[in-house]
Amino acid sequence: MQDLFRTLPKLLNEFEDSEEVREAVVFAAWRKVAGKSLCEHSAPFRLYEKHLIVAVKDKMWKRHLEKELAGQMIFKLNSLLGQAAVTFIEFRIDEETVSKIKKTDRRIKVSDEDLKEIALDEISPRLRHRADAIKDDNLRYQFLLAAGSCLARKKKNNTTK
């Protein structure tokens, strides 16, 4: 997993024009930086340009994150990503979104090999072709896994609505 996080800055540079990739990378970084405890009460919702929108459980968490942690979170995210990918975090009270994402994360555990297969099945020929521009084989593979995972999650969320 650490290898994947080390590739995030390269992915952002390689696919700087893809908002979908940018959002997936920033969401992954948020989960890493926020940690398990904070992820119980918040979930990244949308990235618009460099503005990250995070759903939070309630007013108390919103206030706490805005007043005490927002600056630290921006610094940690950008440090992990190797660039100023996020310049502002907006916290919105949306308990339903937080609960939905938590429920998705708690689903039955699937083996790593099955997860990789599911992720790689979601890769379109166009995305695979664009990924071919990544010279480093390991980075290309990690990118395809991350992108495929994001696409699979997005597909699953769209079918449960």
Q: Domains of the chain by range and CATH? A: 2-159 (3.30.300.180)
What's the mean per-residue pLDDT of the chain? Answer: 84
Dihedral (CA of 25, 29, 32, 34) sign = negative
Place of tokens 């990378």: 25
pLDDT tens sequence across 51-106: 999 999 999 999 999 999 999 999 999 999 999 999 999 999 999 999 887 776 65
pLDDT tens sequence across 136-156: 888 888 888 888 888 887 777
Is residue 159 predicted with pLDDT exceeding 70?
no
- Give me the helices (H) in the chain, please: 2-14, 19-39, 59-64, 70-81, 95-105, 112-121, 125-131, 137-159
Instruction: Tell me what the mean pLDDT of segment 12-29 comes to.
Output: 81
